[in-house]
Structure formats: C-alpha cells, structure tokens
Amino acid sequence: MIRKPVVSGKFYADDRADLRSQIENCFLHPAGPGRLPEGVVESVDRLGLIVPHAGYMASGPVAAWGYYEAARRIDSSTVILIGPNHTGLGGDVSIWLEDPWETPFGRVEIDSELGDRLRDSSGRLIEEDKSAHLYEHSIEVQLPFVQYVFPGSKIVPLVMTDQRLETALALGEIIGKCTLGSSGVLILASSDLNHYESHTETMEKDIELTEYLVSGDYEEAYRISKERRITACGLGPMVCVRSIFKDMEILKNTTSGEIIGDRYRTVGYLAAFMK
C-alpha cells in the first residue's frame, strides 16, 4: 500500500513546480538561511537534525535552516524520521517498513533493511503499524525537503505515541547502535515547540527548553516542560535524537510570529543539528 499524501495542498503545495518554488522560497526567505543548499563541505557519517513540521508558510524557513546545514555536512542515503503522534492511532512506537511514500515530487522508497534491524533489535518497543502513519503529518511534511536536498535517499519513518523520557532514551539507544558505523545516515526529529502563546512568552519558554537539550540534561528538559507547560509536541523525538550525539548546535529558534506576523498566538520553531 503506497502511503499517499494527506496534507499536500494544505501544509505545502500539491503541484510539483509550485512545491519546488515554495521550498526554494523557504531557503531564500529573510527568516531562512538566505541561500539555496550548495553541497557537502564537511562530510560526516551520521548527523542529527531537529526541524519543525507546520505548514511551509509558517515553519518552512526555519526548517530550511536545518536542511541547509544537513546538505553541507552529509551526503545522505537514508533518513530516519521520528515524529510525534497527533492522531492517537497505532502503538507506542510505530514503524512503516515496506511500501513507498508519495509526494508531488514522486515516490520515496523505504530502507526496509535498516527498518527491520531497528524493529528486531528493539524487543517489542518498535512495532510495525501503518495506522499510526496514515494521517500523521509530522513525517510527511519533511519528505519534500528530503527529496529536494537528498534526491534518491530512502527513509525509515517512526511515530512516537509514548514520549516518556525512558522511551525516548531507549529508542535513541536502539537507533544509535543500529546506525553505528553506517555512512550517510540522517536522523531527524520532527517537532514544533510551544503552542499558542505570544511571541515573547513562547520564546522565553523555548529558549529555556532548548538550553537543556543542548546541555543534554534530559530530565530537566522534561521537568521544565511539565512545570512551565511548554507544549512542544515532539519532546520525545527531540530527546531521542539528541541522545545519540555528543554535540548540539542551534541554527534558528523563533516563532511563527516572525514569519507570518501574528505575534499574539504563535507556535515555536527550532532548527538544530547534532554530530
């Protein structure tokens, strides 16, 4: 069963030419990197990435920062995408193992060999379950950027319903072990940050949260999220990916207010890379 797009025409353009133009405008946007990807200048075997997953008109320029840096640092052949579950369907950690995904750019093949290895190495933590993916946008919105920057790369899609700290760290350990020694693996966490508060309030909360992610103090990241009601939807995926790598660098942290102008009811966006 081919996974058909469910948010094209809503979160991003549903026409191939329009989508290419939209993505390039994200790179060239004043809130984006200001230039198109230029190719690898510092090659690494594995790279971690955090990027947002809202509509391109709001979060695309921030996502472009992450993809621009990824294009500079890795020639990716496989992208592991870890997103939160907004639909409630599926198991605790659900993987899509076989059939391709489709976007206006065409089909993206699954790295079934790596996917099988992740599932088989996880005990029962990772389970094959397509229902979690059928209507979930957090991974889908990444694919046109992946296809634009890394044409021909394969993907391994994972959706986290259980985002507890212990689950995030366990999943990170599994992914880390299964990709150790691999070449050209991009491990991506798809997450927006705080939701529906003013630009100032959201930035204060998000800066505090990202400081704990950068330092690797995951318990404090979870504590402060609960204590200050920081409504980042993908804390589990972010901690999962961060735990695999030694260092994290922030590329862009802002809100939808900077991009679309409404600074009273915003969503926070983060682009960061890890190596």
Place of tokens 């971690």: 48
Domain for residue 139, yes or no?
yes
What is the domain range of residue 102? 16-265
Parallel/antiparallel/unpaired status of strands 46-51 and 185-190: parallel
What is the rounded distance in angstroms from the CA atom of residue 228 to the CA atom of residue 215? 19
CATH number at residue 50: 3.40.830.10
Please list, in sequence order, all residues whose beta carbon lies within 8 angstroms of the beta carbon of residue 30, skipping any fewer than 6 positions away. 61
Are the CB atoms for 189 and 241 separated by under 8 Å?
yes
Radius of gyration of the chain (CA): 17
Q: Residue 249 is encoded by which pair of tokens?
A: 């660098």
The structure tokens 């920081």 sit at 230
d(CA 270, CA 66): 9
The total domain count for the chain is 1
SS3 89: coil
Tell me whether residue 271 is in a domain. Answer: no
Asked if residue 274 belongs to a domain, the reply is no
Written as six digits, the tokens of 138 are 């957090």
Assess contact for 127 and 116: CB atoms under 8 A: no
The DSSP-derived string for 126-141 is: EEE-GGGTSS-HHHHT
Q: Residue 39 — pLDDT band, cuts 50, 70, 90?
A: confident
112-134 residue pLDDT tens: 999 999 999 999 999 999 999 99
Alpha-carbon distance of 130 to 159, in angstroms, equals 10
User: Does the predicted model carry a pTM greater than 0.95?
Assistant: yes
* 273 located within any domain: no
In contact, 72 and 116? CB cutoff 8 Å: no
Residue 183 in domain: yes
Residue 254 lies in a domain: yes
Q: What is the pLDDT of residues 150-163, one digit of tens each?
A: 999 999 999 999 99
In a domain, 211, yes or no: yes
Q: Whole-number mean pLDDT of the chain?
A: 97
> What is the pLDDT averaged over residues 256-270?
96
From residue 11, alpha-carbon distances to 19, 140, 241 in Å are 11, 10, 24
- Degrees, nearest 5: CA angle 189-193-199: 150
Specify whether the CB–CB gap between 161 and 36 falls below 8 A. no
Distance of CA 217 to the CA centre of its chain: 20
Given pLDDT bands bounded at 50, 70 and 90, which one contains residue 15?
A: very high
Residue 218 lies in a domain: yes
Token couple for 144: 């046109």
Query: What does the pLDDT read at residue 76?
Result: 85
